[in-house]
Structure 1
Amino acid sequence: MGDYRLSASLAGHEDDVRGVVFPNPSAILSASRDATVRLWKLVKQNPPTYDDTLTSHGNAFVNALTYLPPSSGHSEGLIVSGDRDAIIEVRQPGKTPQDNADALLLGHAGNVCALDVSEDGSFIVSGSWDSEARVWVVGKWDTAAVLRGHEGSVWAVLAFDKETVITGCADKIIRVFHISGKLIRQIKGSDDVVRALCRLPPNHPSGAAFASAGNDSVVRLWTLDGHPVAQLYGHENFIYSLAALPSGEIASSSEDRTVRIWKGTDCVQTITHPAISVWSVAACKENGDIVTGASDKIVRVFSRSPERQADAAAIGAFEESVKASSIPQQSVGDINKENLPGPEFLQQRSGTKEGQVQMIREANGNVSAHQWSTAANQWINVGTVVDAAGSSGRKITYQGKDYDYVFDVDIEDGKPPLKLPYNLSSNPYETARKFIEDNELPISYLDQVANFIVTNTQGATIGQAGQTQTPGSDPWGTESRYRPGDAGAAAPQQPAPASRPKMLPQTQYLTITSANLATINKKVQELNKQLLDSGSGDLTLSSPEIAVLGALAKQLEPIASSSSASVGNSPALNEGIDLAVKLATQWPQDKRLPGLDLLRLLTAASPATATRTSDGDKTLVDLLALSGVFRTDSPVNNTMLSIRALANLFTTEEGRLIADGEFDKIHDLIKPHVDAAIGAGSAANRNLVVAISTLYINYAVLLTKSAPNHDADRALTLLDELIRMAASVGDSEGLYRVLVGVGTLLSLGEDFRSAAREVFEVEKALGKAEATGKEPRIKNVVKEIRDAMGS
């Protein structure tokens, strides 16, 4: 069996290729940070030549990709992709970005970073930065189970068999679940974040069932019972992806620029790429060829069969590109040039293992990297080490070194921000890891810090020293200045700061306005076409109305990006309110999401929303109630967005008048969902709990502002329900908001503190909340409540 050699280099993506799939010898799928998914079809055998088709174009990084094999309903199979907007898209390969997706899977609250499909094609499993994995039923396209208990982002998922799902997490733990959501076992043994999983063939010589890998650079083999079988050493940096070959071998891709092929426990080949990161590797089960996706925007195919390899010129060009590539010094550590051997070393000494790297001091003073090839029995030049490959523009000096960026990172209120230096030549995850280690922060912040770097270096100009490119901080995690722990992976338990500003009582009204308006607008158009095609012409929007919504989206952009608190009046705003109400209340229940999303933005954006939707004794509350969105059998996301719209009413005086006057009606509509969330406990829908608790916080703030003439009965009603929620809610963000609501209501006076103690059993609820919530902010707010109670 020969070595893998280049078969084809596929150029077309405009940013890092984060995911690849090789469903059959004639087709390859790739997903990229350029927000696209591409289908590459083999059109010529010798040399292998591919044509590409753009199948999907969204608005956010596409980070995860899988493929559903052909079935009776879908002869070409289905492409499944997940993006940073927490949307999973299911689409036929033959479709274009202008066509409707076959399904959009909504439920995750953070970036979807992992996808897999069961071998029988009956279910999909997804992993997200929201610390959850989800099982989705193919065809029905709904959540069959939520796999909870992770204490960090779920970086890897594996549909092991028809009843078993395995997850890899930022908390360093591998978990085995039944597809019903029941946790079967936890496997501890990884030294760092687990980023990759793959199933091994039943006859694997090691006897292992699956493999894992991650930030500790080690490939580990496990039995399904969790017993370690072997550890494969060779990579020198993060391992991002694993693939099982039909031969029983394993392919792994890494931040060390390589793909390595493992036979048993031995590395038998190292394929170096002219890129910083090899993000993904996949194998074709039919012929054993592999495909890779890398940070240089290229998809590459490799084959062991000479008839499927590229011509000599293409292979030579690939090898020269590796030799000519620049290697950032940050990725190889400190190098003392004076201690490095010269070129004569390469003639005098052989390598000791496949893939070994040796640095050489060239005659011109440069440092070159050479990698040992066991098959060729020689050292191969794989690039030149440089100080700042790819950097451009004016530098910022920090601690005696020059950087492209120096960001501010807020860790603790009342203390100066930490400095996060970054060069464009560096890998965001490597930089984030060093920042976390240097500042002794929880490793669960890794994903968030890396994402912050990526987001704020996309097309941005180089800023001044000590400045970010983003707006100011927001303790509720709704703005873009980075504060670890406000979103994404949950932080492990940390000691509370010695001194911290008081969080209670809450004095400002909260809004939930973060949104992707381009996605909302696109979805409105897709659903409008579906209604038109189905003959529901009386509900559809005309072309001028679609244009109005487009203008409205542009006007709402400052609200959605949290850079403005209101928008000015305009014809587009007024007409857009009417159209949003139509979409939110008259369209079929399964098509209301974009309309409700627009409506909740509009309630925060302008007082016109409150006044324009009110007529006599009828208000926006009545319009929503009559539409059925608060019924317990309504889609949960419809209910959640409607409650968000009510919470956002508090932004304007006109909205507060409606919320105040309609309290009893609103409470009657919300209470069944509060009771359901309490009954569901840790299984309660996270986004719904956050929406309810935000609404209740705003009522609590309204009550404190009306003191001493507050409505005592209203306050006791809210206090009762919030304390019961505090004893049952499992999600950290929802629990934090619930506790802030409790603490704010307790500030109304001793009568309410006595009721909390003697009637509502607040101490029991606080004990449960403290045991459930591991984050410092939850510990701190519990302590503040106890201090206020005198306990």
Structure 2
Amino acid sequence: MPDFKLSAQLKGHESDVRDIVFPSPDTIISSSRDKTVRLWRKTASKPPAFDDTIIASSSGYINSVAFFPPSEVVGPDGLVASGGHDAIIEVKKPLAIDPGNPEQAPHLVIGHAGNVCTLDVSPTSSYLVSGSWDGKAAVWDSKTWERTKDLLHEGSDNRSVWAVLAYSEDIIITGCADSRIRIFNLRGSDFEVAPKRSLLTADVVRALCKLPTDLKSQHPSGAQFASAGNDSVIRLWKLDGTQVGSLYGHESFIYSLASLPTGEIASAGEDRTLRIWRGKECIQTITHPAISVWTVASAKNGDIVSGASDNVVRVFTRSAERTAAPEAIEEFVQSVKASAISQEELGSVNKANLDGKEWLETNLGTKDGQQKMIREEDGTTSLYRWSQSLGAWDLVGTVVESAGSSGRKVTYNGREYDYVFDVDIAEGQPPLKLPYNLGEDSFQAATKFLNDNELPISYLENVANFIRENTKTATLGESSEARPSTNTYSQETPQSKYLPHTKYLDITTGRLDAGFRKLKEFNQAHIEAGNKHISMNPDDSSRLEALVGALAVKTGDRKPGGIPNVDNSKQLVFNVLTQWPYNNRLPALDILRCMAPWPGVASLTDYRYGNVASIALRGALDTEQPIEQNDQVLADFLQNKVDWSRVNANNVMMALRAITNLFSTPEGRTLVAQEARAIIPMLARVAGVGAGAAGGRGEPIGQSNNNLQIALISTAFNYACLTYNQRQSIPNEAIDLGLLSQILDVAEVVANPKYPTPTKQNDTELLFRAVMTAGMILASPGETRELGKAMLVGEWLSTAAKGCADPRIKMVVGECSALLKRD
């Protein structure tokens, strides 16, 4: 059988291509970190050419995509489902061109609390299955888009579900960051489905694929599905949990697997390669001019398609008729040869001992994909890879030195460093820059990096290890001998004192441009639907775009006079929040969230709906469309008007971010203090606790939504901080112990959730903010300490600290214990 050759290179995405489906030989659907989903249709056969159309966009990276084939269930055009960093799954027709038509409007499937990193469709299109960073996998009915099953991943500590496979109508298989594969049987199950089998592998599982079982194309091993992940091994499995084979050849993470009609397997990974496997042998290795080959898929005609970190979608074929023009193939070959490979990717290298190019002429490779570094005549180092089918060594690229290994310095923010690493703290987020000089204590560098980027201290050990691993072959003369031992770091670190913390929290990070694009999409739909009474005209849209541009400046660059021309645009934001349909308000809430910390914003009002805090909460909680004007004060509205069963957790999250940010200015603190009797009981209601909670005690809102929980506890902390600061300036001022007790209730339930299970919160940043909230109340002068004792705060603080490795939490709990012991 001939080798695969390049058929087409599809260029249009502006960032990494993260996922691909190949529903027909003439159609490709791809998702990307550029926050779009693109539909590619073949426009010419010789040479093959494709045109692309953006069919979906999001406010965050889109990391997963799936396709429902045409059927009676989903219609003649089929459906495209996509998910990503905004935790929302969007399902829409691939050819929808009229957003104002209700039948063509996308379904927004909401339920996950983290990046939706994997999707799959059942064989008959009856359901969609999703996996997320929130450690959950869920099944969604394709008729109603209701969540019909939760696939339980107990014991995974909320680690990401990286891969889902709808093997059949009844069987679903998942791959998880806890190194386990779980096999679920939906037949006769309740809403919560426990796995029938849990298979432990050697490392994180990132990819799954179903293998053919018919006699003609079944795998020689008898395997029914395959898995792969961080250990660089493809494992072959039967559904009874028996492992029947392993495929070795990749040299880094494997991100994606696909089954070909021939029974062969295609795999893609971090070693820049796409590999083809027949039986247990790798028969072809296709090197890409990219660091990561993120995804691979196959079509019924046997062609395969890849998506990579160089933003390009590539089609490969065995058909001579579908092969690209010779000049296109040569361009691809040269781009591979010209690509640079960091020496750090290949480990320690002694260049003096490298063989010269003549070695390639006298030595054959032992397996396809075998790598060999060669010293070229000009002194440079090149990486070659053996092609079994060609019987030759292919040039992969030039190996380049890091700054640390060569002695050259790298300039970052005006200073020179031995290294400036790109660190991927979270997939779906841009890499962060980590500068480092040899001889510097890795823990000190890691701590500074975390503080500069406002990241949880729980990452400290991982970041320090990253520095050590990536600099262990470098030296700095005598200074390296003076490097302090990392084993004694924690003992040498001075004890910190966290209480009191008098600075208010804010949540101002994030990009508004993507959200504004979504708002414009909603507005265009209203225009085309004839909803002119609520839609914006071109002048309105321009004014709002100018506002978004003004809000994009950094904190230190804000003008003392406040937001420029805010009076020209504020009412547009208020109108969207109160007049638009409930599910369209999130982008406007995000704009208000970014307005809130600016001087003067807390003084803005609407004659119908009141102050900024009132508008934010009414827009997030009142599901009527439009919101009826009423004379109720905010506290009465929250107590009597809100239908909590219909509230959207993401809207609540964004409104609480706005409330949190209002604490940034003196006038904002005055406003939230005036509305404390409305807002604090509302916080308790969102948490599902507190006898005085607005609307009465009820089920919590968005308890699994990490972003909402951060916004909730940040608002609670700011109220605790406000109490402390006010007591410092006016020691004898009356204090509302009832409101403080509700703040303590919120902190307790965030630290140790009571609903739906009594398990401790796994997110250490949430836990830290919760114990700090309690600590600030205990640190306030007066009767607050007695309130803490009466509410047994010490007990839940002790429970929260048990088994937590974050040193900040243990330290704050210790400070709280000392405060509770005072008279």
C-alpha distance in 1 between matches for 2:505 and 2:607:
23
Is structure 2 residue 706 aligned with structure 1 residue 711?
Answer: no
Measured against aligned partners, the alpha-carbon deviations of 1:620-655 in whole angstroms (never above 9, x if no partner) come to 455566665352132222333333333332222222
1:291 pairs, out of 305, 329, 335, with 305
Structure 1 window deviating more from structure 2 (684-693 vs 97-106): it is 97-106
Secondary structure at 1:448's aligned position in 2?
coil
Secondary structure at 1:643's aligned position in 2?
helix
Secondary structure at 2:123's aligned position in 1?
coil
Counterpart of 1:697, as a letter, is F
1:730 pairs, out of 728, 741, 761, with 761
Residues 755, 565 of structure 1: CA spacing in aligned structure 2 closer, same or farther, 3 A cutoff?
Answer: farther
Residue 163 of structure 2: aligned partner: 156
Residue 625 of structure 2: aligned partner: none
1:392-541 superposed matches below 5 A: 398=404, 401-402=407-408, 404=410, 421-422=419-420, 432=423, 447-448=424-425, 454=431, 480=453, 485=458, 497-498=490-491, 499-541=494-536
Residues 522, 344 of structure 1: CA spacing in aligned structure 2 closer, same or farther, 3 A cutoff?
Answer: closer
C-alpha distance in 1 between matches for 2:386 and 2:328:
22
Q: TM-score, normalised by structure 1?
A: 0.81
Is structure 2 residue 255 aligned with structure 1 residue 262?
Answer: no
Alignment coverage as a number of residue pairs: 739
Is structure 2 residue 603 aligned with structure 1 residue 610?
Answer: yes
Residues 518, 17 of structure 1: CA spacing in aligned structure 2 closer, same or farther, 3 A cutoff?
Answer: same
Give the % identical residues. Answer: 38
> Does the 8 Å CA contact 2:17/2:313 hold for their aligned counterparts?
yes
1:217-228 superposed matches below 5 A: 217-224=232-239, 226-228=241-243
> Does the 8 Å CA contact 1:719/1:742 hold for their aligned counterparts?
yes
Residues 294, 97 of structure 1: CA spacing in aligned structure 2 closer, same or farther, 3 A cutoff?
Answer: farther
Instruction: Report deviation, 1:359.
Output: 3.1
Residue 692 of structure 1: aligned partner: 712
Structure 1 window deviating more from structure 2 (472-481 vs 680-689): it is 472-481
2:774 pairs, out of 733, 742, 751, with 742
Instruction: Report deviation, 1:741.
Output: 1.0
> Does the 8 Å CA contact 2:404/2:418 hold for their aligned counterparts?
no
Residue 300 of structure 1: aligned partner: 314
C-alpha distance in 1 between matches for 2:673 and 2:519:
32
Residue 785 of structure 1: aligned partner: 816
Secondary structure at 2:518's aligned position in 1?
helix
C-alpha distance in 2 between matches for 1:563 and 1:122:
52
C-alpha distance in 1 between matches for 2:436 and 2:450:
23
1:760 pairs, out of 791, 795, 811, with 791
Instruction: Report deviation, 1:311.
Output: 4.9
Structure 1 window deviating more from structure 2 (639-648 vs 185-194): it is 185-194
Instruction: Report deviation, 1:664.
Output: 1.9
Residues 605, 134 of structure 1: CA spacing in aligned structure 2 closer, same or farther, 3 A cutoff?
Answer: farther
> Does the 8 Å CA contact 2:446/2:464 hold for their aligned counterparts?
no
C-alpha distance in 2 between matches for 1:568 and 1:666:
28
Residue 94 of structure 1: aligned partner: 95
C-alpha distance in 2 between matches for 1:30 and 1:663:
47
Residue 544 of structure 1: aligned partner: 539
> Does the 8 Å CA contact 2:687/2:700 hold for their aligned counterparts?
no
Residue 121 of structure 2: aligned partner: 117
Residue 478 of structure 2: aligned partner: none
Measured against aligned partners, the alpha-carbon deviations of 1:736-764 in whole angstroms (never above 9, x if no partner) come to 3222211111112584444434x323344
Counterpart of 1:65, as a letter, is V
Instruction: Report deviation, 1:501.
Output: 1.9
C-alpha distance in 1 between matches for 2:233 and 2:339:
25
C-alpha distance in 2 between matches for 1:152 and 1:127:
11
Is structure 2 residue 572 aligned with structure 1 residue 572?
Answer: no
Residue 479 of structure 2: aligned partner: none
Instruction: Report deviation, 1:84.
Output: 4.6
Counterpart of 1:102, as a letter, is P
C-alpha distance in 1 between matches for 2:455 and 2:707:
21
Measured against aligned partners, the alpha-carbon deviations of 1:707-745 in whole angstroms (never above 9, x if no partner) come to 232515232342244334433163524333222211111
Counterpart of 1:280, as a letter, is T
Q: Which runs of 5+ in 2 are unaligned?
A: 466-486, 623-637, 690-696, 754-759
1:331-350 superposed matches below 5 A: 331-350=345-364
C-alpha distance in 2 between matches for 1:491 and 1:352:
38
Instruction: Report deviation, 1:553.
Output: 0.8
Residues 288, 735 of structure 1: CA spacing in aligned structure 2 closer, same or farther, 3 A cutoff?
Answer: same
Counterpart of 2:45, as a letter, is Q
> Does the 8 Å CA contact 2:417/2:437 hold for their aligned counterparts?
no
C-alpha distance in 2 between matches for 1:571 and 1:670:
32
> Does the 8 Å CA contact 2:48/2:324 hold for their aligned counterparts?
yes
Instruction: Report deviation, 1:452.
Output: 7.0
Instruction: Report deviation, 1:132.
Output: 4.9
Measured against aligned partners, the alpha-carbon deviations of 1:661-704 in whole angstroms (never above 9, x if no partner) come to 22222234343322269955995443333222222211111111
1:14-93 superposed matches below 5 A: 14-56=14-56, 61-72=61-72, 73-84=74-85, 86=87, 88-93=89-94
Structure 1 window deviating more from structure 2 (84-93 vs 508-517): it is 84-93
Q: TM-score, normalised by structure 2?
A: 0.78
Secondary structure at 2:355's aligned position in 1?
coil
Residues 403, 51 of structure 1: CA spacing in aligned structure 2 closer, same or farther, 3 A cutoff?
Answer: farther
Residues 183, 782 of structure 1: CA spacing in aligned structure 2 closer, same or farther, 3 A cutoff?
Answer: farther
Is structure 2 residue 201 aligned with structure 1 residue 194?
Answer: no
Residue 667 of structure 2: aligned partner: 654
Secondary structure at 2:262's aligned position in 1?
coil
C-alpha distance in 1 between matches for 2:54 and 2:600:
42
Structure 1 window deviating more from structure 2 (39-48 vs 87-96): it is 87-96
Measured against aligned partners, the alpha-carbon deviations of 1:423-463 in whole angstroms (never above 9, x if no partner) come to 7xxxx5xxx5xxxxxxxxxxxxxx40787773659xxxx99
1:233-382 superposed matches below 5 A: 233-284=248-299, 286-311=300-325, 314-315=328-329, 318-323=332-337, 325-376=339-390, 378-382=391-395
Instruction: Report deviation, 1:146.
Output: 6.6
Residues 600, 338 of structure 1: CA spacing in aligned structure 2 closer, same or farther, 3 A cutoff?
Answer: closer
